[in-house]
Amino acid sequence: MRFYNHQHPFYCGIDLHARILYICILDQNGNTVIHEKISNDASAFLKILKPYLGNVIVGVECMHCWYWVSDLCEQHNIDFIVGHALYMKAIHGGKAKSDRIDSYKIAKLMRGGNFPLGYRYPKELRATRDLLRRRMHLMRYTAQLKAHVTNSKSQYNLDITNGDLRIAKNRDVLRNAFSIPALQHSIDMDLNLIGFNTAELARIERLIYKDVRKHQLKDLHLIKSVIGVGDLLGSLILLEIGDLARFPTVKHFASYARLVKCHAESAGKIYGTQGNKIGNAHLKWAFSEVAIIYLGNSERAAAYLTKLQRRMTKAKALTVLAHKLGRAVYYLLKNQQPFDEHRFLSV
């Protein structure tokens, strides 16, 4: 974990919400100079900061609405940092908790050099990355709908072959397949949503391809050298990684991508795991997906997985393969070398 430890004349801690924000400004000696609540209005925010411009650092906890504060600070050359939400335990403890107290604690963390730094994602790539995340969410929801259709057929022991439900004629096969009106209505609802989602996914993917070409992701060809990785999955991995230089070692990268097992230890004793949700869940999914696709496209990879299964379960073996692929991606981006399957499987 990295902490912000640069010194400034003033420290502005903000407890940020969707419609309001609570501001606390401390001076170098820890004295409170401003502590008040305002609406999420850019002009009101700048009015408060105006006397301190050039001498103040602004810090917020990483939550869903920090983008506009970051962009506003960048526009007016105000130093800005974003805090890692899961590491900011100091603002969540104590007998009393309120927006006023939280903003004060954030400012104190900044002044004391204990503010846990999150990644300030570049604004020009945010929208494309977030669209890829929404696509992932829509794909999962569509898969749930398809699973419900399949489970409904199994519930009533119906042998109906319909094929891929992304295709309209295959969905039409199920339109009058169930004799119970309520069940048929439930299936029709699933089919209608699948049809809508399929069309929406196609539209989203066209827009993503357009944005990826516009941003000219220079390392996309390196990611695509991994067997089974295409434009969409490769773009997702690159956009979630951001600046590779923020990971000093491959261990830091693997930890960020949730590819390593966490553990809690004290006095030489291991007490289980903790912090499993710290890291990037989207990268974790992406590398798990890469592992599955890689296995389906490489006989050597399938043989390697079988070898792993001699000493561990299949689930564990897949996790090990995903971890290994994550490490390979880190090094191919760092060394600017394409994927070498022979070297990958021989290590």
Task: With a cut of 70, say whether residue 347 has pLDDT above it.
Answer: no
Residues 56 and 101 in one domain: yes
Span 68-95, average pLDDT: 86
Considering its fold, how many domains does the chain have in total? 3
Residues 87 and 133 in one domain: no
Contact 227, 297 (CB under 8 A): yes
Span 135-164, average pLDDT: 89
Last residue of a domain, one of 116, 135, 166: 116
Residues 332 and 278 in one domain: yes
Residues 201 and 137 in one domain: yes
Q: Is 183 helix (H, G, I), strand (E, B) or coil?
A: helix
Among residues 118, 132, 333, the alpha carbon closest in space to that of 231 is found at 132
The DSSP 8-state label assigned to residue 117 in this structure reads B
The Cα 223–Cα 141 span in angstroms is: 27
Q: Band the pLDDT of 278: cuts 50, 70, 90.
A: confident
Least confident piece of the model among 54-68, 134-148, 269-283, 309-323: 269-283
SS (H, E, C) 186-222: HHHHHHHHHHHHHHHHHHHHHHHHHHHHHHCCCCHHH
Contact 64, 17 (CB under 8 A): no
Query: What pLDDT was estimated at residue 275?
Result: 66
The Cα 96–Cα 91 span in angstroms is: 10
Task: With a cut of 70, say whether residue 297 has pLDDT above it.
Answer: yes
Residues 340 and 232 in one domain: yes
Query: What pLDDT was estimated at residue 273?
Result: 65
**Domain CATH number, residue 25:** 3.30.420.10
Cross-strand pairs, 36: 23
Q: What is the mean pLDDT of the chain?
A: 90
Query: What pLDDT was estimated at residue 262?
Result: 74
Residues 279 and 331 in one domain: yes
Residues 100 and 148 in one domain: no
* pTM of this structure: 0.84
Last residue of a domain, one of 169, 196, 216: 216
Query: What pLDDT was estimated at residue 90?
Result: 66
Residues 202 and 257 in one domain: no
Query: What pLDDT was estimated at residue 267?
Result: 66
The DSSP 8-state label assigned to residue 166 in this structure reads T
Query: What pLDDT was estimated at residue 216?
Result: 86
Span 108-128, average pLDDT: 91
Residues 162 and 256 in one domain: no
Q: Band the pLDDT of 87: cuts 50, 70, 90.
A: confident
The string of pLDDT tens digits covering residues 30-70 is: 999 999 999 999 999 999 999 999 999 999 988 888 999 99
Query: What's the domain range around 96?
Result: 3-116
Residues 134 and 98 in one domain: no
Span 119-126, average pLDDT: 90
Last residue of a domain, one of 150, 185, 216: 216
Contact 27, 111 (CB under 8 A): no
Residues 256 and 301 in one domain: yes
The DSSP 8-state label assigned to residue 91 in this structure reads G
Cα 302 to Cα 20, 199, 298, 344, 346: the distances in Å are: 53, 34, 6, 13, 14
Residues 226 and 209 in one domain: no
